[in-house]
A and B are shown apart, each in its own frame.
Chain A
Amino acid sequence: MEPRTLYQKIWDTHLVFEAPGQPSLLYIDRHLVHEGTSPQAFSGLKVAGRRVRRPDLTFAVMDHSVPTKDRTLPILDANAAAQFDALAKNCKDTGVRLFDMNDRNQGIVHVIGPELGITQPGQTIVCGDSHTSTHGAFGALAFGIGTSEVEHVLATQCLQQFRSKTMLLRVNGKTQPGVLAKDIILHIIGTIGVAGGTGHVFEYAGEAIRALSMEGRMTLCNMTIEGGARAGMVAPDQTTVAYLEGRPFAPRGKDFQSAAEIWLGLASDGGATFDRVLDFNAAEIAPQVTWGTNPGMVTSVTGQVPDPASFRDPNEQKAAEMALRYMGLKPGTPMEEIPLDRVFIGSCTNSRIEDLRMAARMVAGKHVAGTLKEALVVPGSRRVRAQGEAEGLDKIFRAAGFEWRDAGCSMCIGMNEDRLPGGERCASTSNRNFEGRQGKGGRTHLVSPVMAAAAALAGHFVDVRKIL
């Protein structure tokens, strides 16, 4: 047999039907659902008189608009409340398992899927959410879909797909201490651009990727969509297998052993060809901070806000001008001198236990800068929260002046009451610095959890390599 890529192997094993000139029908192993993009899909299904084909393969959770302060209080936003009710009712009517906002397993859909072992290598995983790419960290083919496709998967457990092109991104060598997965992916996006991956599925490889924990790989794959690729993946290895063992929905005992064998055989074959191959040198990557209004507008913490005139393409020049106007930044300002109003540690990019441990280590025994208006830690899931509390992280954060909240998307998107006020500047561990993303008029700088923690202490960005 021809050598195959990881992507192609998963594609081949999930092919239900193919015919020339048509999209292929791919089987979907796991369908994750959240309150924000599913109500119209469930109602469409009902109107057409169709049923949920595989409720057993469908998992729903409340995450986008859940409150992070006190869940015993009624939801004040009538639309959000109605949306929660709709999800609860839809799940009840169709037999889909729901982790509601009071469930101990509740959390951001891309945090709980892996943490409960619902996500496994070799699977096809979809969700009405672009950051579904996160699950590719396990060597799964995982990507975001629109609501019409959510309805399609509910009805058929399949998806019509055209084959993507493949891109291998090798990150060679070792990263410097203080440089995390977040910095790697921001550096990659800064290099290839926010549309650099359009039409492709990424596979990440190389020494620096192998050295990443599952949490780090999830951060990396999570932001793949910000580079324009719908899916990013990392071949399963012992790190993957060790992470999954004992997870509630993972196979057990002998089944786990045989599953692990299959998983370890999924890696791209030697000699498999990719449509594009890019090489990066891990040692050259510095801690990253975004300065603009998309994740590709990024530079090293030791860098400066760029001059729009330095961009060759006139469209990019204009975009940079608009971004600086929105961000309230002047060209030439050193990134380390940008003062902050708030810090947000959370989101499906960086809210896992390892992220919180790293941030906690940075702030232990210290206190956030007096100039900060707010510093938030929002664990990605209630399991992460419970684990963090078992380790005393909540106490460390609180003592340092952070708030320690309940799990959800929170200020990554501001669909609940956690919003960044207009004109204020926030160091955020989330994934999107789009205009208004965290709140209308809010100014977002994307950073790693270690950078966010260090910036909270200093009140501005700092080169974390110097203080570790």
Chain B
Amino acid sequence: MQPFRKHTGLVVPLDRVNVDTDQMVPKQFLTWVTREGYGRVLFYDWRYLESEKPNPEFVLNLPRYRGASVLLARANFGCGSSREHAPWAVLDYGIRVIIAPSFADIFYNNCFKNGILPVTLSEQQVDDLFCRTEKQPGYQLSVDLEENTIRDAAGLEIHFTLDPHRREVLLKGLDDIGVSLLHEREIAAYEARMNPTAPLAPDATLYSAPAGQTAGKN
């Protein structure tokens, strides 16, 4: 995973609460078997009109926000489906930082697996950033994860907090699976003493009977 240390970029404001992951990547793209290429379809139904003509009203399509890499969002960002296609699309579009007053749990977690920094700020701080972004074309933010700060060119400085472990994962771009596999001994020991009352072999008669012959339980 690509590490995250510092990032400076153009801010795009998405002024909507409870943005769900169905909007970030609609169903018709969930049949792809790759992790790449979702940037084009990010916010598909909001971003495009018929035959993929850009919707001139959608904020990502406004010329002043072209090339944005910091997404400013509202409360409960990323709710709904667990689809990791959502953060894949965000990243592939070029966004490295999402700032919001709150995030939905699964999406938040998925961000850290993909080198995206989700920053949680207070409602007032987010409101203030919305004002600044909307007022000032070309508004940029510099996010420094080593110092846990967000700065703008006008001297704004915001300190944010992040769980120290999650921070380290991003700073180092750690491979979670590799980290967990360091505990092979503990995992094997756990397996050796696992609950014996959870047999996995199904009852053969119920399992293999052809449809209709065994009512089973329903």
Interface residues, chain A, CB within 8 Å of chain B? Answer: 13, 16-17, 21-23, 25, 27, 29, 36-37, 39-40, 43-44, 48, 50, 56-57, 64-65, 77, 79-80, 82-83, 86, 104-105, 115-117, 120, 122-123, 128-130, 144-149, 151-152, 155-158, 160, 162, 194-195, 198-199, 225-226, 228, 230, 243, 245-249, 251-252, 255, 258-259, 262, 294, 296, 315-316, 318-319, 322, 353, 382-384, 386-387, 390, 413-415, 432, 434-437, 440
Q: Which of B31, B105, B215 contacts A199 (CB 8 A)?
A: B105
In B35-77, which residues have CB < 8 Å from any A CB? 35, 45, 74-76
Check if A39 sits within 8 Å of B217, measured CB to CB.
no
How many residues belonging to B are interface residues under a CB distance threshold of 8 Å?
65
Task: Report chain A residues within 8 Å CB of B113.
Answer: 146, 148-149
In B59-106, which residues have CB < 8 Å from any A CB? 74-76, 79-84, 87, 102, 104-106
Chain B residue at minimal CB-CB distance from A384? B218
- Contacts A13-B195, A44-B35 known; 15 new A-B pairs at CB < 8 A: A37-B82, A40-B35, A40-B84, A48-B177, A64-B30, A79-B33, A105-B207, A128-B82, A144-B82, A145-B109, A157-B187, A248-B203, A248-B207, A415-B28, A436-B45
Task: Report chain A residues within 8 Å CB of B216.
Answer: 246-248, 383
Q: Which of B22, B74, B110 contacts A146 (CB 8 A)?
A: B110
Check if B102 sits within 8 Å of A198, measured CB to CB.
yes
Task: Report chain B residues within 8 Å CB of A230.
Answer: 105-106
Question: How many Å lie between the Cα of A101 and that of B87 in the bound state?
Answer: 29
Task: Report chain A residues within 8 Å CB of B87.
Answer: 146
User: How far in angstroms is the closest Cβ of chain A from B59?
Assistant: 13
Chain B residue at minimal CB-CB distance from A391? B218
- Chain B residues touching A, majority SS: loop
Check if A195 sits within 8 Å of B180, measured CB to CB.
no
Check if A120 sits within 8 Å of B31, measured CB to CB.
no
Answer whether residue B144 sits at the interface, using C-beta atoms and an 8 A cutoff: no
Of the A-B pairs whose beta carbons lie under 8 Å apart in the complex, a sample of 11, sorted by A's number, is: A17-B186, A37-B83, A86-B33, A120-B198, A130-B82, A160-B176, A245-B217, A247-B206, A315-B17, A319-B17, A386-B211
In B117-176, which residues have CB < 8 Å from any A CB? 163-165, 176
